[in-house]
Structure 1
Amino acid sequence: MDNTRGSGQEGGNDNPQMTELRNMVQMLVGAVTAQQQLLQQHFQPPQPQETRELDLSRGETQQGETSEYRGVTEDPIIPMESVAVVRQFLKLKPPTFKGGMDPVKANDWILAMEKNFRLLRCGEQQKVEIGSYLLAGEASRWWNLKGVREPGMDWARFKVIFREKFVPRAVQNAKCSEFEHLKQMGTTIADYEGSFTNLAEYAPHLVATDEMRARRFEDGLRHEIKRVIRPLVLPTYAEVLDRAIIVEQDEIERKKYFDSKRRQNFGAEGTSGQKKQKPEMKSRNFGNNPKGQVQ
């Protein structure tokens, strides 16, 4: 009995303290666990696959692949709908632009980008996203400051601010003046169109609409071609260019035809003249010329 009471008394004295201690420990563990969960949610937010945007500035793709252009620029985050286009674009091995005051390199980069844009049928916003992604070095740092100030800009605006930064103003003015006075002269339509397209980049205000571009191109054509096209009042640049090529080709074919006829006529006249001419034969009259001299 004594042992039983002693044992019961000892257990009764310990239970309240142990229970309180266990409760405090459980509360502490629960608080720490909750804090850890909050920290994880803060630093690692959930990113559902269907809405997550990939940060291609680190070369990240949907499959976790790494692009060869990793580290090209710290900007931008490419929307999911543009990721497929960007990946196709990178397969074309497009050039990067690192900056510097070199108008030839700057313009060549723009032309190379636009060539690929046409191939992949990129939208205006996609052009800006891809173009800014391929900026590196000084050019990338410039975009990180400039791009955020004009969200939603289109490619035409991108080219304007790009040239303001990397093509000296004196060069832009000279190219603009050259465009204003551009004439076809003795070149082909293809050569004239190439010069027209390149120089028009420096004078966007002169070709702000497709009709303005058509009239400007038409004004620079040779007189022989322009006099055929101008009465047609073609509304688009593509139509003017197409008709100019046709007129030029007709002109070339006509010239070939008349040159061929001229050569044929010249050859016929030469043959006829040779047939009419007879060699002069001096008669020999030995009877009247006793000495036998040839008269």
Structure 2
Amino acid sequence: MDNHTELMTAMINLANTIQEGTAMATHALRRTKQSARSENGEGVGDDLNGVPRTLAAFLRVDPPSFNGSSNPIEAENWFKAVEHALQTQHVPNNQFVKYAAYQLAGEAQHWWQEECQFLQLQNMDVTWELFRTTFYKKYFLESVRKARELEFMQLKQSSMSVAKYTSKFEELCRFSSVCQGAPESYEGWKCEKYQVGLREDIMRVVAPIEIKRFSKLVNEARFIEEYIEKMTLTRDNRGGTSSRGRGKHFPPRGQILKRDGHDTQHRQGQRNFRRNNKAQPHLAKGDG
């Protein structure tokens, strides 16, 4: 019994020693991390768990700078990029203006210094919303926005590839008065507008599918474009010279949406569309 008791006592002492050593090591590691953060100028608030960042830590993610531009798209791209960086880096809302202004340079910096002084003389609280309004008023004139909205409403694919048309569509879409607010609130309208602007031979295949999700609609348009190009190349290699066949190389029934589990819907829509197309031979190019 005495040997057993001594053995148990020794094991307990060993466990206590290990526990104490672990606690000391953990404490030392915490002190080392805190010291490293202090040396880097991050401070107590610079943490990876959603704690607000300091300016030094924010700058290390390399947010874009803005020197002032007559191009409204460049101005808007900068504003959205900086706003995204502020949000993802957990910068406090009341520090948004300070951190964003730090990224202004040249003419833009000079403009904001004067504008900020004027606002403060008016005893106005310079919030992020006020900064946004003031910035857009300076670098994004209403007349420019209206001109871009008109360009968007008249946009057609024409000779552009689907990829280029989509890029132009997305660039101009932001200027539409309809495409404001939550994306899901106008996605259906956006799909219809995009579809109407597609090249006729692509639009004829896409239209019966009635896709209401924009990303899916773009993917289908690209697939159809690739299929038509492939069929056109095959026809040319076989010695075909007529251009009248363009737009008649429909993908095999069910091939397009079979990938997404909508095989039946597409085949039915394609049959209906072809039947309607035969009944209306007067359909002119450009109606889409």
TM-score scaled by length of structure 2: 0.49
Mark the structure with the bigger radius of gyration.
1
Q: TM-score, normalised by structure 1?
A: 0.48
